[in-house]
Structure 1
Amino acid sequence: MPIMPPRASKKAPILVVLHQERSSPGRVGQMLIDKGFPLDIRRPVLGDPLPKTLAGHTGAVIFGGPMSANDPDDYVKAEIDWISVPLKENKPYLGICLGAQMMVRNLGGSVAPHRQGLTEIGWYPLNATEHGRLLMRWPKMVYHFHSEGFDVPRGAHLLAQGEAYPNQAIRYGDNAWGVQFHAELTRAMMQRWVVHGAHRFIMPNAQKGREHLEGRMIFDQPLKAWLSDFLDLVFDREARRPPLAAATLEAAL
């Protein structure tokens, strides 16, 4: 289902992969449209095919969902295998939560629950690594809704860390990125998640619903600003040049 910017765009569309009938790309989708990218939205779980090549796309985003990257369902395995397309073609790829975990599985890494059964459901601190700081500024608090995490596959760089789940953001090669947290939620989306996910708030380390909404009032604006810059970093090669040049200069000193 294509969604076009309000004005005609010469940019190639971005493939958006969602995992439920009523799922939305939220702020990620709106920001990409505002940046001039048409969206090509597909739901493989409902039978939508994924393209054999991204030659006609700028890149791809795979979002989160209630399923696990370890599930045996055919469509889960097919999505994991499909990520080889952007990786081999060196097209920008962004995995969010499940999408990041699927990329890790594709690269030979593992996805698993916390050893002590902890979850991250609510707002939690984020700390950038040296690699991450050289690329951009990161928010201090981010929003989560998960009970599994990923390791860092061979060849990938860790960009940001957390407490319960240490691996929060990774980069593989020039164009593949994965984040464990959610910056895409609009207020309406968070309200729905809080209502429909309330049964999860009794899980270890999970926050109560009011903490989700109160945290949004405090932490959402920096997260929203970060997301806009991060999407430029992922999908606009020009946006990477100044920070990387600075990083190279700093490394030489």
Structure 2
Amino acid sequence: MFKDRLQAAGLLAERLLRYKGQSPLILAIPRGAAPMGVVLAQQLDGELDVVLVHKLCAPFQPELAIGAIDESGHASIAPHAASVGATPSWITAEKNRQAKVLLERRRHYSPLRTPAPVTGRVVIVVDDGLATGATMQAALTAVLRGHPARLVCAVPVASAEALALVQPMVDETVCLSVPPLFQAVGQFYEHFPQVSDDEVAECLQQPGLFSPLPHQGAKTSASRSNAAAASLAASKG
């Protein structure tokens, strides 16, 4: 049980200290992980941004995810989507709805700058917990299209199923707790308030946490032949 998100972030930072001095890019999944991203960026001397993804909702069941979409428009659809009534036309309409939400969030969170580039960098994607893993999977997919040098998934708590889903996508997974009985992320925090869009914007305006590095067309260890610059194609639920 964690006291709150900030305490959990501090514990994660202790496990990630080896990246201090490597100018890591901390990508928080809004809204809940934004305050955690501030802690990680401060303790690791990193840069902070958000990766924007949004779940796609099932018909008449807004809490049930049938997939996720990132701010570039790339979407992944869960195998169970059709079984809960998500027709192709519903999915198209839902993708359009959530894409507009992400566009508005980016304008609100960081109106004066573009997403931080991920190419050739150590990138740490953080969330406050993984229940199904669908949102993190969408976030990681988006970041991978930018060719980071090393990709790390960092979460305080996750279900075993969610962890198994995301581990093959990253170079490293840092997870502090994998409880056998997992119903919701909030059950593992004593204090788990909602985080507002305004709070996310404030997190991204913290002094010293956004200082973009000159882009030098760095090549990734996985793809030495691709030296093209790539901006963050993503981004959070």
* TM-score normalised by length of structure 2: 0.32
> Does 1 or 2 have the higher relative contact order (CA < 8 Å, sep 6+)?
2
Question: Would you tell me which structure has more helix in proportion to its own residues?
Answer: 1
